[in-house]
Amino acid sequence: MNSLSIDTVSVTWRNGVKALNDISLQFSKGMFGLLGPNGAGKSTLLKTIVGLQQPDKGKIFLNGIDLSNDQFYLRKQLGYLPQDFGVYPGVTAWDLLQHIAILKGVGDATARRKQVTYLLEQMNLSEYRNSAVHRFSGGMKQRFGVAQALIGNPQVILLDEPTAGLDPEERHRFNSMLSALSEELIVVLSTHLVEDVRNLCDNMAVIHQGRVVAEGKPAMMISALDGKIWSKKSAVTSGPEPDFPHRLISRQLIGKRPFVTVYAEVQPPGFVPDAPTLEHVYFHALNS
């Protein structure tokens, strides 16, 4: 079975920002969610895996092969959809996929045509094959982005916040397609959306300030918080809670009323038990 292994990888950008700090993760077939706030290091991790950024230290292995030693293997086995997927104006879906297939080394013209036809079909874009990609809707563009990532039959695809900006219907359609792909491939999904990770991912990690601060199966991480999450109506509408000795998980408005949720081993006075959710897991990981 395919496995992608990140072994103690650290990355410092040229301006001195340490974006990744000793990250170790294992990915196997299925969907893996990378959750984290803005600036956590998710994009840097994906860029480093696909070889666009060199680590200061650490190694990345696919099926035991060190990717830094084998650029050809890396290009062939990894597909990548970056956060900002720019396209030349006026170029059709067909022409662009053909072009990317050539860049990815699909040399045989018949094989290339077959593959591009298949991917357009799979992504439900066949009828738009002669339309300009830059005029596609958000959802179509992202499905096109996955099609280009799948050229060359990679074993792994890495998707950087692919559902950002999609409306709920497009997001649902896109996620169903990803879920089907993850039956066969390693799919690594970077996202802010806790809900997408809960609905789609077999495994996940929370990244914060360049480190992995929590990792596991979403359902198990939720049940680990059983009996430890408590809520109450907040005494204040904004600013910090007065006299608050608890470990805060979140404050949110429910029906316009501010509620506060905390983590505690024993029920704190004035609080009622709350059923843990993946959002609680996420905020607990960020605040630990």
Which distant-in-sequence residues (6+ apart) come within 8 Å of 87 by Cβ? Answer: 96, 133, 134, 141
* Number of residues lying near ligand ATP (CB under 6 A): 12
Q: Is 40 among the residues that bind ligand ATP (CB under 6 A)?
A: yes
Report if residue 82 touches ligand ATP, rule: CB under 6 A: no
Minimum CB–partner distance for residue 91 and ligand ATP (Å): 26
Q: How far is the CB of 127 from ligand ATP (least distance, A)?
A: 33
Binding test (CB under 6 A) with ligand ATP, winner from 1, 38, 54, 89:
38
In the complex, least distance from residue 36 CB atom to ligand ATP, rounded to whole angstroms: 5
One-letter amino acid for residue 22 of the chain: D
For position 180 contacting ligand ATP by CB under 6 A, the verdict is no
69 binds ligand ATP (CB under 6 A): no
The nearest distance, CB 16 to ligand ATP, in angstroms, is: 9
Q: Residue 67 contacts by C-beta under 8 Å, 6 or more apart in sequence?
A: 49, 51, 59, 60, 61, 73, 74, 78
Read off the tokens for 214.
């929590």
Given the complex with ligand ATP, which of 20 and 97 has the nearer CB atom? 20
CA distance 228 to 250: 14
Site residues (vs ligand ATP, CB under 6 A): 13, 15, 17, 19, 36, 38-44
